[in-house]
Structure 1
């Protein structure tokens, strides 16, 4: 038999599965992946789960919305092999990513305020009166020129070509679109999600269409933060029961 988890009540895989809305195969898979502690076995080889396994499964499922499946699985594996400090480190890193995403959102909002007042455009125009080339713009954004070319193919930026050299030249509108694309990409938006926003900004001559996207982004960050609290409570219950 495997380790003897705490708790005397015997549970079948189907009991855990029904309680959490899963298939019995999913429960077995979680055990094999180390997300659940190893189950005992009957003489005939059937798995024996206990309330401790139910707590582990509840903790994992609560961790997923806030930390993602991969990180949640790594946290549970660390706990189950007794590496609690590693689990705490993984949690800390996940919280740090959420904080970074919040800072990114704030940066987007700041960028939009700058663009709305025309400050960013005036700064770009003053520093690059004839427009800027792909290298300097990529350097300013901290990305590769290839990324700007990819955004161009997606229609997110539309630089003109210098008729003499054939080089791409980005005017202040292109710089605005590139900055918005860059910030939204950092926020987790896909290119196909960004494209209609950029198109609306161009058509409307303003940034109002992004307000709904920013509200949605803010709501998703808040949901992640709250989910992390729920996950922490369930994990603490599991840790307390493990002793």
Structure 2
């Protein structure tokens, strides 16, 4: 990586630790894993680093925060082995990954606002439920999932349809509460929430009829994703200058 070949100053391991915030042991581990370039060795065997290694550690720290340490290590070790086009695709892919998650959370927030508005409208008319009902096929199409997904949500207690008919002719009928729960579940799943978190959120909604706590959680997630987006851009700015060369 050509950007990691420019030696401006000579640093000891302790110097790099002080400048980067990583411990001496962490620096050596990251070097052994190929996350940062191998240090030059002096005649006495001591490692000799440069400001380039400090920059590489800074990029890794930002990437680890943005996309997780495993993905960050993968980027840092793969980048030197890729041709420029592949390397650029790898970096821009991480930006896209964070942005896609942001888009999902924005969509989830928009859906929850819509659900909240529907609930408030129902309350203004003095009713807790509506006459609206859907079959499993209709609801699956409405929330953008498969019927099998709705059946799975039902098995997890996330939505409870009514059963109509008997015997082999039994069918699921989703009324207002079940439709609301399915919409909230779909919204939160698209926002990155797990089944356990959604089950807790639905308990709040069922008890209070309020989605404000979930909206606040999604707002917090958006703030976090903004920080992650900034971090991956910083890392990309450092790593973009290293494309096309080799490690020292």
- The gaps in structure 1 that reach 5 residues or longer are none
Deviations 1:4-45 (Å, cap 9, x if unpaired)?
Answer: 943264434444334333343432332233221122334565
Select between 227-236 and 172-181 the one with higher mean Cα deviation. Answer: 227-236
Give how far 1:93 is off: 1.8
Q: Structure 1 141/44 Cα, relative in aligned 2: closer, same or farther at 3 Å?
A: farther
Q: Which residue of 2 aligns with 1:131?
A: 134
- The gaps in structure 2 that reach 5 residues or longer are 123-129
Give how far 1:200 is off: 1.5
Q: What is the 5 A alignment of 1:150-189? A: 150-164=152-166, 165-189=169-193
SS at 1:188 equivalent: coil
The higher relative CO (CA closer than 8 Å, separation ≥ 6) is in 2
Give how far 1:145 is off: 4.2
Q: Structure 1 196/82 Cα, relative in aligned 2: closer, same or farther at 3 Å?
A: closer
Q: What is the 5 A alignment of 1:41-190? A: 41-43=41-43, 45-81=45-81, 83-118=83-118, 130-133=133-136, 135-164=137-166, 165-190=169-194
Q: Structure 1 5/231 Cα, relative in aligned 2: closer, same or farther at 3 Å?
A: closer
Q: Structure 1 137/28 Cα, relative in aligned 2: closer, same or farther at 3 Å?
A: farther
Deviations 1:104-161 (Å, cap 9, x if unpaired)?
Answer: 2332233233323339x99xx88xx55312x553454443444334433433212233
Contact 1:78 1:86 in 2 (8 A): no
Select between 218-227 and 81-90 the one with higher mean Cα deviation. Answer: 81-90
Give how far 1:194 is off: 1.9
RMSD between aligned residues? 3.5
SS at 1:118 equivalent: helix
The two structures have a TM-score, normalised by structure 1, of 0.76
SS at 1:155 equivalent: coil
Cα distance between partner residues in 2 of 1:109 and 1:143: 18
Contact 1:52 1:238 in 2 (8 A): no
Find out whether 1:230 has 2:234 as its counterpart: yes
Aligned residues: 234
